[in-house]
Chains A and B, each alone.
Chain A
Amino acid sequence: MNMDLSPLWISLKTALSATAVTFVLGVLAAGWRSGRSSRLWELFDGLVLLPLVLPPTVVGFVLLSLFGRTGPLGQILWRAGTILVFSWSATVIAATVVAFPLMYLTARGAFEQIDPGLFDAARTLGATEWEILVGVAIPLAWPGILAGVALAFARAMGEFGATLMFAGNIPGRTETMPVAIYFAIAAGDTRQALLWSGIVLVISLGVLAAMDGWTRYQRRYLARGTRGVVRGGSVARG
Chain B
Amino acid sequence: MHIPMRIPSHRLAALLPGVLCLATFSASHLQARVPQEPVQITVSAAASLNDALIEIDREFQRARPDVRVDLNSGASGTLEIQIEKGAPVDVFVSAGLQQMDALAAKGLLLAETRVDLLRNELVLIISRGSKNVANFSDLDHPDVRIVAIGDPRTVPAGMYAQQVLTALGIYATVRKKAVLATDVRQVLADVETGSADAGLVYATDAATSSQVRVVAAAPAGTHEAIVYPAAALRDAPHPDAARAYVQFLRSASARMIFSRYGFLPAT
| A234 close to chain B: CB less than 8 A | no
| B156 close to chain A: CB less than 8 A | no
One of A96-104, A166-174, A202-210 contacting the partner: A166-174
Bits for A75-94, please: 1 = Cβ < 8 Å to B, else 0.
00000000101100000000
Instruction: Identify which of A68, A83, A86, A187 contacts B154 (C-beta below 8 A).
Output: A187
**Do A183 and B179 touch (CB < 8 A)?**
no
- Complex CA–CA separation, A186 to B154 (angstroms): 7
Find chain A residues with CB under 8 A from B194 CB. Answer: 68-70
- Complex CA–CA separation, A197 to B181 (angstroms): 21
B101 CB, min distance to chain A CBs, angstroms? 14
Find chain B residues with CB under 8 A from A173 CB. Answer: 176
Instruction: Identify which of B151, B176, B190, B193 contacts A186 (C-beta below 8 A).
Output: B151
Q: Answer whether A170 and B178 are a contact pair too, CB < 8 Å, given A69-B195, A183-B151, A189-B153.
A: yes
Find chain B residues with CB under 8 A from A126 CB. Answer: none
**CB neighbors of A among B160-177 (8 A):** 175-177
Q: Answer whether A168 and B195 are a contact pair too, CB < 8 Å, given A183-B180, A186-B154.
A: yes
- Complex CA–CA separation, A68 to B195 (angstroms): 7
| B78 close to chain A: CB less than 8 A | yes
A138 CB, min distance to chain B CBs, angstroms? 40
- Complex CA–CA separation, A141 to B196 (angstroms): 45
Q: Who on chain B is nearest to A188 by CB? A: B81
Q: Who on chain A is nearest to B176 by CB? A: A172
- Complex CA–CA separation, A169 to B182 (angstroms): 9
**What class of interface size applies to chain B in its complex with A?**
20 to 34
- Complex CA–CA separation, A83 to B182 (angstroms): 22
Q: Who on chain A is nearest to B81 by CB? A: A188
Q: Answer whether A85 and B195 are a contact pair too, CB < 8 Å, given A168-B179, A170-B146, A188-B77.
A: yes
| B198 close to chain A: CB less than 8 A | no
- Complex CA–CA separation, A171 to B145 (angstroms): 14
**CB neighbors of B among A77-134 (8 A):** 83, 85-86
| B75 close to chain A: CB less than 8 A | yes
A2 CB, min distance to chain B CBs, angstroms? 16
A73 CB, min distance to chain B CBs, angstroms? 14
Q: Answer whether A183 and B153 are a contact pair too, CB < 8 Å, given A70-B193, A86-B179, A170-B179.
A: yes
Find chain B residues with CB under 8 A from A188 CB. Answer: 77, 80-81, 84, 153
**Do B78 and A186 touch (CB < 8 A)?**
yes
**Do A187 and B146 touch (CB < 8 A)?**
no
**Do A170 and B75 touch (CB < 8 A)?**
no
**Do A186 and B75 touch (CB < 8 A)?**
yes
- Complex CA–CA separation, A83 to B195 (angstroms): 8
Bits for A156-184, please: 1 = Cβ < 8 Å to B, else 0.
00000000000011111110000000010
B10 CB, min distance to chain A CBs, angstroms? 58
Find chain B residues with CB under 8 A from A68 CB. Answer: 193-195
- Complex CA–CA separation, A174 to B146 (angstroms): 12
Find chain A residues with CB under 8 A from B175 CB. Answer: 171
Greatest chain A CB density within 10 A among B84, B154, B181, B190 is at B154
**Do B179 and A187 touch (CB < 8 A)?**
no
Find chain A residues with CB under 8 A from B176 CB. Answer: 172-173
A130 CB, min distance to chain B CBs, angstroms? 41
Find chain B residues with CB under 8 A from A83 CB. Answer: 145, 195
Instruction: Identify which of A69, A85, A171 contacts B180 (C-beta below 8 A).
Output: A171
- Complex CA–CA separation, A83 to B194 (angstroms): 10
Q: Answer whether A187 and B195 are a contact pair too, CB < 8 Å, given A86-B146, A86-B179, A170-B180.
A: no
Bits for B67-111, please: 1 = Cβ < 8 Å to A, else 0.
000000001011011001000000000000000000000000000
**Can you show 23 pairs from A to B with CB atoms below 8 A apart?**
A68-B193, A69-B193, A70-B193, A70-B194, A83-B195, A168-B179, A168-B180, A169-B180, A170-B177, A170-B180, A171-B175, A171-B178, A171-B180, A173-B176, A183-B151, A183-B154, A183-B180, A186-B75, A186-B77, A186-B154, A187-B153, A188-B80, A188-B81
Interface of B with A (CB < 8 Å)? 75, 77-78, 80-81, 84, 145-146, 151, 153-154, 175-182, 190, 193-196
Beyond contacts A169-B180, A170-B180, A189-B153: 7 other A-B pairs, Cβ-Cβ < 8 A, are A68-B193, A69-B195, A86-B146, A86-B196, A170-B177, A170-B179, A173-B176
